[in-house]
């Protein structure tokens, strides 16, 4: 196995492709190997910044012939750091971010390096959108291949529910299209099965009229009212219309201008609110939420959907150390609420948070076996987001996340969201796919029998 690529080899790869090749001696190397989670420190032997889909087959062939690892980087957000490999080749899509919209057909055609911001900007130019995540710098590629959910999910489903087709290059260098009608087994697997089946070069999504203005914002309640807020939240979301989405974040208050100064840095319960129905009805729908408790403050109003999609970016910038644990829930049992409140009361750093994403609605109307993403009973996704700056705090912050994960486990449903899993959770992959796992193994055997694409939530052949 080669461990370093000589400049001669770099020239060889460069001769095969239209894109760029960055190796450790190049000035841009350090920047090119950065990903969102600063805990990951991997050094690929070459980062191939592809310029076109045709760059991929020769790179796969080169890696396989030379016994080199291959990793795939969308926008580098995955917590496990699989976008990078040590001493192998990283296929990097940072130069392929184009999004084309056919407004008449309500379709978007998206290159794999596009971020959510790229997609939202292009689709919202036509007053359209598809459900994606809540942090605009996340990559559409990794998010879609693992499932994908965000503010629009209650109404329009998971991101994978709106995937129409995929162009992909498989381990043998073949270009395929996968959809309901073409290579439908592969299409089934790609909707949730992650980067296991090849290198996706284009995603096609169906779009819906959204905004461009929506009603959105935050209400911030005192932590001492957490039990009351969470109990009322649980009742409220049972019957709330699907055009309304309310999540819960328990954390220390950032210095938001609408909060009194003495609240900054104190534990709070934040309810992020998103409403994409008729604006005139928003006040009536929000009145019960405001009555959950005595809020410290709120900031809710009409704003462009694309701006709301960026609202959490300042809290989720790259460069911090991050460790996540996650459970799905079909209901928020009293015991789950107690453990959430208990651990939110002992946050080990000012940036750590516990969030509950609400996904009840359209995703629950799809059969679990309809595609690889299986969690059709999940109504809430809990993410224990450990986040801090200094390596000396690793142990303390990771221990907090793990302990909370264990304490809340008895109330969780089976399965897990693969996009929130860390590198050490490989033993959870089969459980994450539940009864769909065996079919995923079969399809993996057909399209990638030698497990060339194993830097992911790996489906073992």
Ligand X SMILES: Cc1cc2nc3c(=O)[nH]c(=O)nc-3n(C[C@H](O)[C@H](O)[C@H](O)COP(=O)(O)OP(=O)(O)OC[C@H]3O[C@@H](n4cnc5c(N)ncnc54)[C@H](O)[C@@H]3O)c2cc1C
- Contact residues toward ligand X (CB under 6 A) are 36, 72-79, 82-83, 93, 112, 133-135, 138-139, 141-143, 145-150, 194-195, 199-200, 316, 419, 455-456
Q: Cα torsion at 308, 311, 312, 315 (round to 10°)?
A: 180
Distance CA 62, CA 68 (A): 8
Q: What span, in angstroms and rounded, lies between the C-alpha atoms of 222 and 229?
A: 9
Smallest gap from Cβ 166 to ligand X, in A, equals 9
Question: Closest distance between ligand X and the C-beta of residue 168, in Å?
Answer: 7
Name which of 297 and 350 has its Cβ closer to ligand X. 350
Q: How far is the CB of 387 from ligand X (least distance, A)?
A: 9
DSSP assignment of 322-382, as one string? Answer: EEEEEEEESS--HHHHHHHHHHHTT-SSTT-EEEEEE--SGGGGS-TTSSS---TT--EEE
Which residues, including other chains, have CB under 8 Å from residue 130's CB and lie 6 or more apart? 108, 119, 123, 152, 156, 159, 162, 205, 206, 207, 208
CB of 100 or CB of 266, closer to ligand X? 100
For ligand X, which is the closer residue by CB, 48 or 263?
48
Q: What is the rounded CA–CA span in Å between residue 451 and residue 444?
A: 8
| Parallel, antiparallel or unpaired: strands 89-92 and 46-49 | parallel
Alpha helices in 33-81 (DSSP H): 56-65
Cβ contacts of residue 224 below 8 Å, gap of 6+? none
Cβ atoms 285, 244 nearer than 8 A: yes
Q: Which residue number, 110 or 263, has a Cβ lying nearer to ligand X?
A: 110
CB of 194 to ligand X, least distance (A): 5
- Residue placing its CB nearer to ligand X in the complex, 49 or 138: 138
In whole angstroms, the minimum distance from the beta carbon of 201 to ligand X comes to 7
CB of 284 to ligand X, least distance (A): 27
Among residues 29, 27, 137, 136, the alpha carbon closest in space to that of 84 is found at 29
Token pair for residue 171? Answer: 């381990």
Nearest-approach distance from CB 36 to ligand X, in angstroms: 5
| Residue among 306, 357, 350 nearest 329 (CA) | 357
Work out how close the CB of 164 gets to ligand X at its nearest, in angstroms, rounded to a whole number: 17
Q: Provide the minimum distance between the beta carbon of 132 and ligand X in the complex, in angstroms, as a whole number.
A: 7
C-alpha 409: how far from its chain's center?
Answer: 21
Closer residue to ligand X, CB minimum distance, 118 or 298:
118
CB 75 within 8 A of CB 141: yes
Cα 383 to Cα 159: distance, rounded to the nearest angstrom: 18
CB nearer ligand X, residue 93 or residue 447: 93
Q: Name the minimum Å distance from CB 280 to ligand X.
A: 28
Q: Which is nearer to ligand X, 35 or 295 (CB)?
A: 35
Helix, strand, coil content of the chain in percent (nearest 5) = 35, 25, 40
- Shortest gap between Cβ of 261 and ligand X (angstroms)? 27
265: helix, strand or coil: coil
Nearer to ligand X, 112 or 222 (CB): 112
CA–centroid distance for 346 within its chain: 26
CA atoms within 13 A on the CB side of 58: 15
Of 41 and 235, nearer to ligand X (C-beta) is 41
Question: Residue 35 or residue 282: which is nearer to ligand X going by CB?
Answer: 35
């Amino acid at each position: 196995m080669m461990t370093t690529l000589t400049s001669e080899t770099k020239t060889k790869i460069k001769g095969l492709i239209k894109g760029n090749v960055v190796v450790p001696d190049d000035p841009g190397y350090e920047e090119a190997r950065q990903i969102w989670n600063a805990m990951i420190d991997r050094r690929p032997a070459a980062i191939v910044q592809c310029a076109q889909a045709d760059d991929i087959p020769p790179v796969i062939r080169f890696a396989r012939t030379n016994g080199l690892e291959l990793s795939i980087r969308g926008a580098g957000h995955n917590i496990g750091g699989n976008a990078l490999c040590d001493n192998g080749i990283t296929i990097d899509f940072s130069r392929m971010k184009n999004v084309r919209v056919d407004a008449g057909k309500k379709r978007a055609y998206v290159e794999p390096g596009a971020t959510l911001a790229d997609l939202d900007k292009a689709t919202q130019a036509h007053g359209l959108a598809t459900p994606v995540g809540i942090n605009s710098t996340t990559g559409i590629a990794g998010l879609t291949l693992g499932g994908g959910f965000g503010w629009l999910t209650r109404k329009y489903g998971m991101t994978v529910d709106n995937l129409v087709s995929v162009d992909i290059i498989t381990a043998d260098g073949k270009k395929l299209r996968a959809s309901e009608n073409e290579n439908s087994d592969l299409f089934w697997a790609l909707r949730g099965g992650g980067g296991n089946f090849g290198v996706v070069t284009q995603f096609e999504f169906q779009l819906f009229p959204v905004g461009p203005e929506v009603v959105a914002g935050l209400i911030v309640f005192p932590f001492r009212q957490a039990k009351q807020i969470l109990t009322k939240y649980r009742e409220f979301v049972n019957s709330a219309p699907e055009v309304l989405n309310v999540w819960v974040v328990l954390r220390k208050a950032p210095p938001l201008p609408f909060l009194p100064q003495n609240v900054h840095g104190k534990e709070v319960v934040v309810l992020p609110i998103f409403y994409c129905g008729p604006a005139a009805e928003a006040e009536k729908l929000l009145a019960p939420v405001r009555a959950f408790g005595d809020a410290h403050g709120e900031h809710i109003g009409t704003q462009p959907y694309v701006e709301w999609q960026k609202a959490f970016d300042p809290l989720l910038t790259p460069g911090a150390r991050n460790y996540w644990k996650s459970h799905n829930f079909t209901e928020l049992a009293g015991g789950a609420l107690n453990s959430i409140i208990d651990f939110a009361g002992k946050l080990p750093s000012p940036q750590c948070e516990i969030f509950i994403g609400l996904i009840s609605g359209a995703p629950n109307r799809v059969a679990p076996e309809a595609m690889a993403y299986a969690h059709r009973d999940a109504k809430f996704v809990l993410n224990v987001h450990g986040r801090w700056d200094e390596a000396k705090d690793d142990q303390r912050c990771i221990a907090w996340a793990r302990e909370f994960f264990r304490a809340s486990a008895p109330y969780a449903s089976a399965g897990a969201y693969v996009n929130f899993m860390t590198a050490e959770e490989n033993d959870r992959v089969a459980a994450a796919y539940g009864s769909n796992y065996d079919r995923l193994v079969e399809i993996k055997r057909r399209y990638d029998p030698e497990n060339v694409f194993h830097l992911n939530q790996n489906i073992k052949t």
